[in-house]
């Protein structure tokens, strides 16, 4: 696999997720594999439990190629589903647990999901949408309460009979993960089993992961990081994994010590939050040697390592479509201000707006070509035109600006796409604008990000009220809370008479970004209009 070699190198006839699990269940059956919340599994226990999940869903009429949507925050059942559905050959559609309204309906409908597994809060969110989801024929409830016709996951899991004998191939889809749409609705990335294994192997190699390592994260299991970069990476080496149900900065390091974690995984906000906690004896009372955090500046890396001890690793750049476009192994050579060098199984370059290669040091769009069949995603689900558009000129266009130095290290410069990064999520400004336009008193709206001073953005909504209408801050906040996920909620609202557009009617957001944030701008946070952590779903 272009330098990526499984260690130890088992004889896999099909490098697919189910077979990887079965291999370890045979060769290290009693080794602790995965912990989430109060549930822990050895490799053999996860193999047996996921066999029953596969049998149970087969009994509900779910088969190979069928899409199964999953709507819930981190909990142990997600991993039983991950492996059980993989063995069945069903295609998983992990959904952001905080989706609601049109955001939720679009992804369930677009995926053509025939089954939905959800917790109680997710059931409440999907219940009013069921009439608009004709493909959805099976509802499975993780909790006691669920949508009217839902069956209990406990009953599904305890189904009698062996797991179906399904021939799953590396090219078969493991999952469809939705990315934020920037000029349209979110698109589903088709991710084959072979791509999952490739990402897992790349991460294990880059982090110098060993069989005796324990990988630790509190990132959501509906994200690519937890699914591929952590769980699948553990599977390539026979390592252990601990996935926290929620991230708590105040207890994270103590919990890492408690579970014997050696490798930890987070995002930039994870590191910022940990640095913001009061110093504690737990800061260094752990066994962590490496902590993946990104984006994180060189100064933040130094500060983090000086306080907590583990080496900080940020040298990786990727997207759901291609995880590990560039990276550098923790063993080096490294440039901590960079995102690493091109991956072994990719050709990476920097192109100008005309698609021509740029010299070292020049800023342009980071683009790539695969050198291996499973080095990147298999295209956008039910959207061949988007796949063609993303691969114009025989290069996949990331939509991100960067540059390469003379030593081959790449530096991320800025997002070319009009997306906003907030609370660890990529927010589609288009999707957010469409949701706000549903308000009867809103005639026009534009969304843009405001730098927060950390690694993320603050959401600004620029709103034109309908003729003869006035907007009340509290009432408008209440409307937004009903139609938006909590992480997409604007903090700032600017009321204007007109939104600047060019000759082709495209919004000139650069002009909006130049406007000052003065007293005329609503600041929901200062107004006391916030969503408590326990009311986000």
- Residues 344/351, Cβ–Cβ less than 8 Å: no
- Confidence grade of residue 15 (pLDDT, cut at 50, 70, 90): confident
Q: In terms of pLDDT, which residue wins out, 327 or 500?
A: 327
Q: In percent, how much of the chain has pLDDT > 70?
A: 93
- 172-188 tens-digit pLDDT: 999 999 986 545 678 99
- 352-392 tens-digit pLDDT: 989 999 999 998 899 999 999 999 999 999 999 999 999 99
Phi, psi of 391 (to 5 degrees): -115, 35
Comparing CA positions, the residue from 24, 23, 26, 1 lying closest to residue 12 is 23
In angstroms and rounded to an integer, the radius of gyration of the C-alpha atoms of the chain is: 23
Q: By mean pLDDT, which of 80-89, 392-401, 420-429, 493-502 is the weakest?
A: 420-429
Mean pLDDT to the nearest integer, 18-41: 97
Q: What is the pLDDT of residue 215?
A: 98
Q: What is the pLDDT of residue 4?
A: 46
Task: Give the strand pairing for 214-217 and 364-370.
Answer: unpaired
pLDDT at 210 over 60: yes
- Confidence grade of residue 8 (pLDDT, cut at 50, 70, 90): very low
Q: What is the pLDDT of residue 454?
A: 62
Cβ-based burial of 272 (10 A; exposed 0-12, middle 13-18, buried ≥19): buried
Mean pLDDT to the nearest integer, 389-417: 89
- Residues 419/345, Cβ–Cβ less than 8 Å: no
What CA–CA distance (Å, rounded) separates 284 from 257?
A: 9
What CA–CA distance (Å, rounded) separates 286 from 178?
A: 35
Q: What is the pLDDT of residue 181?
A: 55
What CA–CA distance (Å, rounded) separates 464 from 59?
A: 53
Q: What is the pLDDT of residue 144?
A: 85
* Mutual angle of helices 193-206 and 17-27, in 10-degree steps: 60
Q: What is the pLDDT of residue 472?
A: 96
Tokens 């992990």 sit on residue: 94
Q: What is the pLDDT of residue 11?
A: 45
- 432-456 tens-digit pLDDT: 888 898 898 998 899 998 887 665 7
pLDDT at 500 over 50: yes
Q: By mean pLDDT, which of 13-27, 80-94, 110-124, 225-239 is the weakest?
A: 13-27
Q: What is the pLDDT of residue 505?
A: 57
Q: What is the pLDDT of residue 479?
A: 95
- Confidence grade of residue 10 (pLDDT, cut at 50, 70, 90): very low
Q: What is the pLDDT of residue 419?
A: 63
- Confidence grade of residue 336 (pLDDT, cut at 50, 70, 90): very high
DSSP tag of 162: P
- pTM: predicted TM-score of the whole model, two decimal places: 0.83
Q: What is the pLDDT of residue 112?
A: 98
- 457-479 tens-digit pLDDT: 899 999 999 889 999 999 999 99
- Confidence grade of residue 3 (pLDDT, cut at 50, 70, 90): very low
Domains of the chain: 34-168 (3.40.50.980), 207-314 (3.40.50.980), 338-412 (2.30.38.10), 422-535 (3.30.300.30)
Question: In whole numbers, what is the pLDDT of the chain averaged over residues?
Answer: 91
- Residues 372/198, Cβ–Cβ less than 8 Å: yes
Q: What is the pLDDT of residue 433?
A: 86
Hey, which residues does 322 pair with through a beta bridge? 319
- Residue 80, token pair as written in the block: 């039983």
What CA–CA distance (Å, rounded) separates 268 from 58?
A: 40
Q: What is the pLDDT of residue 453?
A: 66
- 258-317 tens-digit pLDDT: 999 999 999 887 898 899 899 999 999 999 999 999 888 888 899 999 999 999 999 999
Q: In percent, how much of the chain has pLDDT > 90?
A: 75
Q: What is the pLDDT of residue 7?
A: 42
- Residues 380/189, Cβ–Cβ less than 8 Å: yes
- Residue 248, token pair as written in the block: 């708590």
Q: What is the pLDDT of residue 50?
A: 97
- Per DSSP, helices labelled H in 207-324 are 224, 233-237, 252-258, 268-275, 298-308
- Residues 63/215, Cβ–Cβ less than 8 Å: no
Mean pLDDT to the nearest integer, 228-245: 97
What CA–CA distance (Å, rounded) separates 349 from 351?
A: 6
Q: In terms of pLDDT, which residue wins out, 488 or 2?
A: 488
């Amino acid at each position: 696999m272009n330098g990526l070699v499984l260690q130890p190198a088992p004889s896999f006839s099909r490098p697919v997720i189910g077979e990887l699990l079965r291999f370890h269940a045979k060769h290290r059956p009693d080794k602790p594999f995965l912990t989430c919340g109060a549930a822990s599994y050895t490799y053999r226990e996860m193999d047996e439990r996921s066999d029953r999940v596969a049998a149970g869903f087969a009994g509900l009429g779910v088969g190979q190629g069928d899409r199964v949507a999953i709507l819930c925050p981190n909990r142990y059942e997600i991993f039983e589903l991950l492996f059980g559905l993989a063995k069945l050959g069903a295609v998983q559609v992990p959904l952001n647990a905080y989706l609601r309204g049109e955001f939720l309906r679009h992804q369930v409908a677009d995926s053509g999901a025939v089954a939905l597994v959800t917790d109680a809060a997710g059931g409440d969110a999907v219940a009013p949408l069921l009439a608009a989801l004709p493909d959805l024929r099976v509802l499975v409830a993780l909790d006691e309460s669920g949508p009217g016709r839902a069956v209990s996951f406990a009953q599904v899991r305890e189904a009698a009979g062996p797991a179906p004998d399904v021939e799953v191939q590396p090219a078969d889809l493991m999952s469809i993960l939705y990315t934020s749409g920037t000029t349209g609705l979110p698109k589903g990335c088709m991710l084959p089993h072979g791509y999952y294994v490739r990402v897992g192997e790349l991460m294990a190699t880059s982090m110098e992961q060993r069989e005796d390592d324990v990988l630790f994260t509190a990132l959501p299991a509906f994200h690519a990081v937890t699914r591929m970069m952590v769980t699948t990476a553990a599977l390539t080496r026979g390592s252990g994994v601990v996935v926290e149900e929620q991230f708590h900065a105040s207890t994270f390091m103590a919990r890492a010590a408690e579970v014997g974690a050696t490798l930890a995984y987070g995002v930039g906000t994870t590191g910022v939050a940990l640095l913001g906690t009061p110093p504690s004896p737990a800061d260094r009372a752990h066994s962590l040697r490496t902590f993946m955090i990104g984006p994180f500046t060189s100064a933040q890396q130094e500060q983090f390592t000086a306080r907590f001890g583990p080496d900080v690793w940020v040298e990786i750049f990727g997207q759901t479509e291609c995880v590990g476009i560039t990276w550098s192994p923790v063993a080096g050579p490294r440039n901590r201000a960079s995102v690493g060098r091109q991956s072994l199984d990719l050709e990476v370059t920097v192109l100008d707006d005309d698609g021509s290669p740029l010299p070292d040091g020049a800023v342009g769009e980071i683009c790539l070509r695969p050198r291996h069949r499973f080095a990147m995603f298999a295209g956008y689900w039910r959207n061949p035109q988007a796949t063609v558009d993303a691969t114009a000129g025989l290069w996949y266009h990331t939509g991100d600006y960067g540059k390469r130095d003379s030593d081959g290290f790449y530096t991320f410069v800025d997002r070319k796409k009009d997306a906003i990064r907030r609370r660890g999520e990529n927010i589609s400004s288009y999707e957010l604008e469409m949701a706000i336009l549903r308000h009867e008193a809103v005639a026009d709206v534009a969304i843009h990000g405001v730098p927060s001073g950390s690694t993320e953005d603050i959401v600004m909504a620029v709103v034109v009220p309908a003729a003869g209408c006035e907007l009340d801050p509290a009432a408008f906040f209440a409307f937004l809370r009903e139609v938006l996920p909590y992480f997409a909620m604007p903090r700032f609202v600017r009321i204007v008479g007109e939104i600047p557009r060019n000759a082709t009617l495209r919004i000139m957001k650069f002009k909006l970004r130049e406007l000052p944030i003065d007293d005329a701008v609503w600041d929901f946070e200062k107004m006391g209009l916030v969503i408590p952590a326990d009311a986000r779903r």
